[in-house]
Amino acid sequence: MPARYEQIAAELREAILGGTYPVGSHLPSEAALAARHSAARGTVRQAVALLASEGLVGSRQGARRVVLRGERDQLFGEPYDFARWAGALGHRAGGEVIGRRRRKASATEAVRLAVCAGEEVLSMLRLRTLDGVPVLVERAVYASWVVPAVEVLEPGCESVVGALGETAGLAFRHGEHLIDAVAAGVQEARLLAVRRGSPLLRRRRLTSTAEGRPVEWSDDRYRAGSVVFATRSPGGVNPSLAGQDGDLR
C-alpha cells in the first residue's frame, strides 16, 4: 500500500500526463487538493513536492503552481537495463558476451565497489546491438558477493541486473554516473564498426542495491550519434575536471 502522498501524487501525475492540466495551466490550490482528498495540507505538499522534483510542476510563492511538462520521461530513476530500455522504445536489443572472467579488483574498482583491494571480482565484456546495429561496448565488473549469482546465469542472458532481481530478489538503483567523450580504440572500432579515433560517448555507472551496497561498476561506450543522455537539474549535472585517465580530480 503506497503512502497517502504518493497516491495523491500519482493521481495528479496522471491528470497532468492525461491532459487534464495542460502545460502552462495552474494546479488547484493546496487547500483545494487537501479538501478533495480529505488530507492535511502537509500531506498534499509532500505530493506536489514529489511532482516538482520530477520537473512536472513549478511554483512561486504567492502564485498557483504551474504545469511545466506534459509528457513522461523515459525510465524514471529506474536502474539501467539495456534490453528493457530498447524494448520500451520499440527497438530490438541484441548482443553477445565477448569475454567473461574472474580476476582481482584493481585499486579503482575496489574503491568503487567498496570491496577489499585484490578481492576477486567478475569482469565481463559485451557488445550490445539495437536492431542489429552495434551501438555499445560494455565493460562491467561485479562485486565479489554477487559473483556466484551472476555466474549461474546463461551467458546469453540479456539483462544481468534484471535476472538478479528475479533470482536473488534484489532491488537496484543507480548511484553515480561519470559521462565524457573518448576516442575509439582498436578493439572498440572493430566491435562498433567505426574508424579508430572516432568519437564515443562514455558513461561509467555504478549500480547499487536499494540500501547503497555497490553491485556493478561499468564502463559503457556508445557509438556517437546513437544515444543522448538527458537529465534535469535538481539532482544535477556537475562538470568536473578530468585527469589524464578520464577519472575525476
Residues 40-69 that bind DNA (CB under 7 A): 40-43, 45-46, 59-65
Cell, residue 112: 568503487
Q: Which residue pairs from 239-248 have beta carbons closer than 8 angstroms and sit at least 24 positions apart in sequence?
A: 242/180, 246/180, 246/182, 246/202, 247/108, 247/178, 248/178
Binding positions for a copy of itself, 79-98, rule CB under 8 A? 80, 85, 89, 91
- 210 binds DNA, rule: CB under 7 A: no
144 binds DNA (CB under 7 A): no
The set of cell numbers assigned to 174 is 543507480
Q: Segment near a copy of itself (CB under 8 A), from 33-41, 105-113, 155-163, 236-244?
A: 236-244
The size of the interface with DNA (CB under 7 A), counted in residues, is: 24
- Our CB check for a copy of itself shows the closer of 10 and 224 to be 224
Amino acid, single-letter form, for residue 172: F
* CA neighbor of 44 nearest in space, from 59, 24, 28, 56: 28
Residue 238 binds to DNA (criterion: CB under 7 A) = no
Dist CA 103 CA 90 (whole Å): 37
Options 27, 56, 137, 191; binder of DNA; rule CB under 7 A: 27
Contact status: 17 vs a copy of itself (CB under 8 A):
no
| C-beta contacts of 117-122 below 8 A and 24+ residues apart | 119/144, 120/144, 120/147, 121/147, 122/147, 122/150, 122/151
Residue (9 or 135) nearer to DNA, CB: 9
User: Of these, 122, 150, 200, 215, which contacts a copy of itself (CB under 8 A)?
Assistant: 200
CB atoms under 10 Å from CB of 242, counted, come to 12
Binding site for DNA (CB under 7 A): 3-6, 27, 29-32, 38-43, 45-46, 59-65
